[in-house]
Amino acid sequence: MKRIDEYTPGVPSTAAIARHPIHPMLVVFPLAFLVTVLLTDLGYLWTTDPFWARVSLWLIGAGFATGVLAALFGLIDFLTIRRARSHAAGWIHFLGNDTALGLALMNSLVRMDDAAAAVFPWGITLSAVTVALLIITGWYGGKLSYYYKIGVFGDKQKLETSMPHPGRLREPNGHDLHVH
């Protein structure tokens, strides 16, 4: 596929409400929950207060549940938007996030019998690997939106008329400002 430039139109999300993509609206929840697990694990290690271990278990459950929901809408876009599948960024984002959800599930299963005893070494290790993976997949998700213009609506005609001619600046009223 050719390189995406500023004149290439965006590809709207196929899973959207009033043209607003659903997947990016939902990913903030699993990201917040699963990143916070690492912090509550550290809180447990620093204080040995079992409260933090229980909080970690609840956060993993919330992160997994909301992650599955976000993944469902991401999968709809991935399967229905060819541009998403034609770049390595799409596959890294897709497979990496699936792996992160698998790690979250494993992390919750490890902690199920005794949340406090499972924090070290396996719980915190799984939490740290999950966070690292989410940083990478989040980067590639941003690349899909901002670089490859997936989930961005707008048709080519509107895009071309909104862009100034090379070597010209655009006035606020939409007219080209000729620079000599």
Q: Over pLDDT 90: what percentage of the chain?
A: 78
Residue 145 CA, chain-centre distance (Å), reads 10
Q: Using 50, 70 and 90 to split pLDDT, how confident is the model at 154?
A: low
pLDDT at position 180 over 80: no
Sequence letter at residue 37: V
Question: What is the residue-averaged pLDDT of the chain?
Answer: 89
**What digits encode the pLDDT tens for the residues 20-54?**
999 999 999 999 999 999 999 999 999 999 999 99
Sign of CA dihedral 71, 72, 75, 80: negative
What is the pLDDT at residue 159?
Answer: 44
User: How many Å apart are CA 70 and CA 101, to the nearest integer?
Assistant: 11
Q: What is the pLDDT of residues 82-109, one digit of tens each?
A: 999 999 999 999 999 999 999 999 999 9
Query: Is residue 175 scored above 90 in pLDDT?
Result: no
62's CB contacts (< 8 A; 6+ apart) are 29, 33
The model's confidence at residue 1, banded by pLDDT at 50, 70 and 90, is low
Judged against a pLDDT cut of 60, whether residue 67 lies above it is answered with: yes
In which band, very low, low, confident or very high, does the pLDDT at 157 lie, cut at 50, 70 and 90?
very low
Torsion angle defined by CA atoms of residues 45, 103, 143 and 156, in that order, rounded to the nearest 10 degrees: -140
